[in-house]
Structure 1
Amino acid sequence: MENVRILCLKPEFFQTKAAIYQGGNMLFLKSIKHPKEKLESFEKVTDQHQYRAEEVLHELKEADIRIDLIRVVIGRGGLLKPIPSGIYMVNDRMKEDLVNSSLGAHSVNLGGLIADDLSKMLPDAKAYIADPVVVDEMEDIARVTGWAEFQRHSVFHALTQKAIARRHAKAVLQNYEEMNLIVANLGEGISIGAHKQGKVVDVNQAFDGEGPFSLERAGSLPLGNLVKMCFSGKYTEKEVMWKIRAEGGMMSHCKTRSLYEIEEMIDEGNEDVIFVFKAMAYQVSKYIGSLIVALKGKVDGIILTGMIAHNKMFTDFVIEHIGNIASVHIYPGECISDGLAMNAQMMLKGEIEAKEYL
């Protein structure tokens, strides 16, 4: 078991991140860039899976990785139907749903497909995903909206939120399943979840639904204004959805979604950018505060994670506004590969069992 290796995959728009773990240690990490013109030659995003899998295998061989020791290939989960938290074997039904997702095309849907391709290229490996973005543990009362035709849905950074929550629980010598936590994942999209004794009982729909605006997503908007824009004749449905998912937030206000460029403008003293950046922190703080209700006021800790958690101006602003609720703990950076490896290790140790996607 000590020699067993785990290959973790995180597909992004123009790159695929691949990491190898063994015994809890990362042995290899590579961000494999894919030429824009090559990706644009595919009709759909999900058509890229075979090409990306071959690129990953090539990089592993170039790095002299012992691919014969890889037993688990685990990819970031995609826009599937709502499912409970856990690790899932990639099967034909999952692959079909990833290719034909009702929630739309996105690079996140490639994780399970690439994992499946690679498991077939390797001598003795199986393919899995873990805690996809559609993990649904919401309480029924949290689903209700002011319009009978609509329900709130759970689409969030489930893998990251749960991995960081488990890491924090271990750090404070507690069991995740016995704690009440509020976790804010701060990245290109922002999701904030109420974790009640191991289940995320309320969370914003961070893909195209609601919550704070982020680096590129619009978050909650004034409904009247949105309806008028939709019927203005200026935009198609596809264009409106793109504006909500990829041209909102800081991108809309500052014409960039790059945190590096935003921080450069802040360092140069750009007051407009500073104001909008603080407004994003204000919305994050307000949403964290709202989730006290889901935990009935019993909050053991608040966790800030993701790449924006590196920014001290942002985290200081949030702490100033919500620090009296509970202790605030900052775990900056991305932990998707670590989260995938954690789930695979728990499965290999027999602590959890792989589930079947139905």
Structure 2
Amino acid sequence: MKKNVPTALAGLAVAAAWSTCSAQSAVTLYGIVDEGVTYTNNQNGHSVWQMQSGVASASRWGLRGSEDLGGGNKAVFVLENGFDPSTGNLGNNGRLFGRQAYVGISMPYGTVTMGRQYDEVVEMLARIDASLQWGIYFAHAGDVDNTSGSVRINNSIKYASPKLYGVTFGGLYSFGGQPGSLSRQSTSSAGLSYTVGPLYLATAYLYMKNPYQAGFDSTAPKNLIYSAYVPAASSWRVIGAGGLYAAGAITVGAEYTTTRFANGLNNADVSFDNYEANVGWFVRPDVLLGAAFVYTHGKLDATGAKPNYRAVDLNADYLFSKRTDVYLSGAYLKAGGAASRAALTYIPTASTTPTQIAVRVALRHRF
């Protein structure tokens, strides 16, 4: 019996050490599956019924982890995959971890991460944007300003501050990775937010050189509103600001962004200004209603043309539980000025007329 005591004690020591490590380290598997049916009144002249995934939330799975290093420091990582449950295909142009892939250190005075990440426009402004709250159909003109996070930043190093008196700030720089040129295909971004009680205010900036290669994988964006201007652009600049106020069951948001593609058409700039107002209302704990209006005004310096777009978006969400809900979305876009065709974000093909309407019913589950 005595001979077994050291063995038992050793076993207890190993178990205790394992338990301590488990308490100090954690890895979480998480994800969202969003699948439903969408009706569009006009895609290239025809009405269309189609299965679509990832509208209210992009379908994804990921791994998130941390390890306690002591002294308030932690190693952190995220690996996040995007996929299409309609077909099982990978999203984000076939990347395994195309949504996010980074590793870093979290410290009492801030967090530094490296990898494929979101810029500060997404970090600071997305929570105000209706597209994050209710779906990608609500994005500004095909997500021309990246407030919906369509573009992630490769080869980036990023700093996020702790909150101090309600203020947080962050910055990102991406190395272009081009031999002989430090700045070609590089990206820089900065953002600032302030939270006090029910009020959230934020501003952010993004500047990307050679965006066609650096941000769009040498593939023109699918939305015709700005797809023609990305391949020739020498830079892509976004500046935005907005605020969100929560009053009990009701939230009200407003946002402004300005986007410029330098040398986007005939060696001249192309710009888009976006104005958004949105409101959300929890009618009861399991029913959320949302509405948004977005006005986009464009200008082509080379020709003087001024396209504009008006969008009205509605959403109703019923929560079966904290993890499962069903939603009904409707989006209406009207082109005006120099624009003759409407093109809702994430609808595969533009309308042949100045208007396009999409209605969707879908199921979403989080795990």
Q: TM-score, normalised by structure 2?
A: 0.28
Q: Which has the higher contact order (CA 8 A, sep 6+)?
A: 1
**Rg (Cα) greater in structure:** 2
Q: TM-score, normalised by structure 1?
A: 0.29
